[in-house]
């Protein structure tokens, strides 16, 4: 099984979805993307998650981020599940969900649970874990989080990380603990003090390696 590491280019694939055939790299285009996986349709925690992502879809669009789900069941079952999701969340799910009954995409993306006989479905196949992947326009993996089956994902946190990544790509900054958009940021260690004087006037030096400045996007 391949190991998908941060900084690597994500594998391309073609797969059926609730919105037709997806050629993944082509589908991403010049956007950011979030791919998030599920172990099966009509599961309680995942139903709430897909509803929340549908509700937050405009927030992802504001950041030029495309969203796509993946579940091991087939597309016809996904479409029936979407009806439940919309009813429960009082929303309108408009992004695609990939059908991955063979676990081909989950395997290529290192999303399968440990090869433990107790972690198999009724067909004897390993479960697809609940991953969130953030991918940039160069198709590079920037974030991967795996969640246990019992704990719903926090998609406001995913948006926060995307804000941090996009800010750091545009400016030579990183973000400190518990950062929220508008808070102070950290000047990247690669920036000399002389460069910082020009790029970030009135920055604050706490330690030689820790220099704060205001959020340059504000």
pLDDT band at 148 (very low <50, low <70, confident <90, very high): confident
Identical fold, 14-152 and 171-213: no
- CA–chain centroid gap for 202, Å, is 35
The CATH H-level (homologous superfamily) assignment of domain 171-213 is: Antioxidant, Horf6; Chain A, domain2 (3.30.1020.10)
Buried b vs exposed e over 88-108: b needs ≥16 C-beta within 10 Å?
ebebebebbbbbbeebebbeb
Query: Is 46 designated active site?
Result: yes
In this predicted structure, what is the pLDDT of residue 116?
52
Q: Which residue has the higher pLDDT, 110 or 206?
A: 206
Fold of 14-152: Glutaredoxin (3.40.30)
Q: What is the pTM of this model?
A: 0.92
Q: Which position among 46, 75, 85, 135 bears the catalytic label?
A: 46
The domain locations on the chain are 14-152, 171-213
Q: How far apart are CA 28 and CA 187, in angstroms?
A: 30
Out of 26-35, 79-88, 127-136, least confident range = 127-136
From the list 185, 184, 181, 137, the residue with the least C-alpha distance to 157 is 181
Residue 86 has pLDDT above 90, yes or no: yes
């Amino acid at each position: 099984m391949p190991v998908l590491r941060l900084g690597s280019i994500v594998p391309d694939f073609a797969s059926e979805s609730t919105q037709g055939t997806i050629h993944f790299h082509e589908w991403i285009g010049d956007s950011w993307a979030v791919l998030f996986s599920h172990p099966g349709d009509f599961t309680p925690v995942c139903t709430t998650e897909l509803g929340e992502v549908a509700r937050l879809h405009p927030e992802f669009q504001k950041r030029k981020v495309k969203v796509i789900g993946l579940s091991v069941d087939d597309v016809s079952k996904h479409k029936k599940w979407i009806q439940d999701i919309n009813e429960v969340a009082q929303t309108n799910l408009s992004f695609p969900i990939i059908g991955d009954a063979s676990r081909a995409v989950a395997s290529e993306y290192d999303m399968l649970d440990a090869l433990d006989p107790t972690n198999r479905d009724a067909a004897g196949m390993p479960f697809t874990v609940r991953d969130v992947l953030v991918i940039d326009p160069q198709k590079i993996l920037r974030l991967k989080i795996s969640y246990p089956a019992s704990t719903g994902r926090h998609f406001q946190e995913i948006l926060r990380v995307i804000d941090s990544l996009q800010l750091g790509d545009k400016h030579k900054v990183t973000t400190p603990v518990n950062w929220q958009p508008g808070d102070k940021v950290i000047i990247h260690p690669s920036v000399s003090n002389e460069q910082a004087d020009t790029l970030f006037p009135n920055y604050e030096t706490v330690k030689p390696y820790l220099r704060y400045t205001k959020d340059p996007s504000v």
